[in-house]
Amino acid sequence: MADKNGRFGVHGGQYIPETLMNAVIELEEAYNHYKNDPEFNRELTELYDEYAGRPSRLYYAEKMTKDLGGAKIYLKREDLNHTGSHKINNVLGQALLAKKMGKTRLIAETGAGQHGVATATAAALLGMECVVFMGEEDTKRQALNVYRMRLLGSEVIPVKSGTATLKDAVSEAMREWTSRIDDTHYCLGSVMGPHPFPTIVRDFQAVISRESKAQMLEKEGRLPDYVLACCGGGSNAIGSFYHYIEDKDVKLIGVEAAGRGIDTWETAATINTGRLGIFHGMKSYFCQDEFGQIAPVYSISAGLDYPGIGPEHANLHDTGRAQYVAITDDEAVNAFEYLSRTEGIIPAIESAHAVAYAMKLAPTLPKDQIMVITVSGRGDKDCAAIARYRGENINE
């Protein structure tokens, strides 16, 4: 848990321009009020259940379990949520909070487009204006999601600065928020940025582990031995871990994107290759050079293509409570195809990173061990890109 200054160990804090300070203070006060408000929680639960389709299933992947021949594998099916990923959990919470605060406009950054689509969806539902910032490179990789956001009534602004990917979209959304605070809420998509965002997003995503814990107890009568989730900024991972943190026997594994390998420059594996720094409002681990210039990271997955990691993950790493491993593009693409063929579930390329690590780990474990893998999103959005990766050109 964060301390009162928003610190997780040494990580976190509020490294933002003075112009935004009163906005984040106002947000923290509003959140502290509404998080304990029965009416707010009733409305949010209704949106989760009736609109987003929660609780998401905890599915026993029997074929995958038998094929890998080791630990028993369950999939936490966030891909079945409305809009196709875990991002809706956070967005419905923040959009409802913003509305209670009297805001009429949402802005958001997006990498793969999942958070942008979720934000555009919530804005449509709650009658709010919405502007999504997306790296120009990502608008090309995820053209279908750009169309979905526009269809939902949002404006999508391609960001050309820097590497034209997720980090630049975050920077541009922050710049936009600095220029228009009164009516606008910055609906940050991951457990990152200045306090209180890492805590707010974590709390809204914690629904994943709250459900999976109860579902596991019901199905198996005990807690799992391993929980795996892919980790860029880390929102689905922290949501998947949160209610197990105090259960020390449950091993928590975050799977980062190694890109072309953690021994190359073309990687986005922050814990594996980064060092302590201050960026995008927080102290945490970042991929950077010796002078603190943020590295132009790379992953096939637009959603994991970020040079930092949320401060709570950085602290879980420091304390040894969670382990962070890395999976390459090649391994993730193999897992994308493997889960599709084996279970008939096409995972997001982000989630395929977690599946890929499970494919390595599960065969080494005894059959009485239980593993939960969060499938954070569905992979329809990735089909054209994976086809291209395999040398096949298809129209989206």
What gap in Å lies between CA 345 and CA 350, rounded to an integer? 14
In the complex, least distance from residue 277 CB atom to another protein, rounded to whole angstroms: 5
Question: Which is nearest to 206 in space by CA: 185, 176, 175, 236?
Answer: 236
Which residues share a beta bridge with 347?
378
- In the annotation, is 284 catalytic? no
Select 22 or 264, whichever has its Cβ closest to another protein. 22
- In the annotation, is 176 catalytic? no
Select 280 or 378, whichever has its Cβ closest to another protein. 280
Instruction: Please report whether residue 364 would count as binding another protein according to CB under 8 A.
Output: no
Q: Which of 56, 76, 78, 109 is catalytic?
A: 109
Read out DSSP for 257-281?
A: EEET-TTSSS---HHHH-EEEEETE
What gap in Å lies between CA 168 and CA 49, rounded to an integer? 34
Select 18 or 263, whichever has its Cβ closest to another protein. 18
Read out DSSP for 135-148?
A: EHHHHHHTHHHHHH
Q: Which of 28, 56, 76, 87 is catalytic?
A: 87
What gap in Å lies between CA 260 and CA 252, rounded to an integer? 24
Question: Residue 217: how many CB atoms within 10 A of its CB?
Answer: 11
Binding map of another protein across residues 129-168, x = CB under 8 A, - = no contact: --------------------------------xx----xx
Question: Residue 8: how many CB atoms within 10 A of its CB?
Answer: 27
Instruction: Please report whether residue 14 would count as binding another protein according to CB under 8 A.
Output: yes
Instruction: Please report whether residue 13 would count as binding another protein according to CB under 8 A.
Output: yes
- In the annotation, is 87 catalytic? yes
- Site residues for another protein, 73-102, by CB under 8 A, read none
Instruction: Please report whether residue 204 would count as binding another protein according to CB under 8 A.
Output: no
Instruction: Please report whether residue 292 would count as binding another protein according to CB under 8 A.
Output: yes
Select 246 or 289, whichever has its Cβ closest to another protein. 289
Exactly one of 38, 39, 127, 179 binds another protein (CB under 8 A); that residue is: 179
Residue keyed to tokens 């080791």: 70
Give the helix ranges, DSSP H, for 156-281. 166-179, 197-205, 207-220, 235-241, 270-273
Residue 75 has phi, psi (to 5 degrees) of: -115, 125
Instruction: Please report whether residue 4 would count as binding another protein according to CB under 8 A.
Output: no
What gap in Å lies between CA 119 and CA 123, rounded to an integer? 6
Instruction: Please report whether residue 12 would count as binding another protein according to CB under 8 A.
Output: no
- Site residues for another protein, 262-281, by CB under 8 A, read 275-281
Q: What DSSP state is assigned to residue 60?
A: E
Instruction: Please report whether residue 291 would count as binding another protein according to CB under 8 A.
Output: yes
Instruction: Please report whether residue 21 would count as binding another protein according to CB under 8 A.
Output: yes
Question: Residue 130: how many CB atoms within 10 A of its CB?
Answer: 24
What gap in Å lies between CA 51 and CA 376, rounded to an integer? 18
**How many residues make contact with another protein (CB under 8 A)?**
38
In the complex, least distance from residue 315 CB atom to another protein, rounded to whole angstroms: 17
In the complex, least distance from residue 331 CB atom to another protein, rounded to whole angstroms: 29
Q: Which residues bind another protein (CB under 8 A)?
A: 5, 13-23, 161-162, 167-168, 171, 174-175, 178-181, 275-281, 283, 286, 288, 290-294
Q: Catalytic positions, please?
A: 87, 109, 376
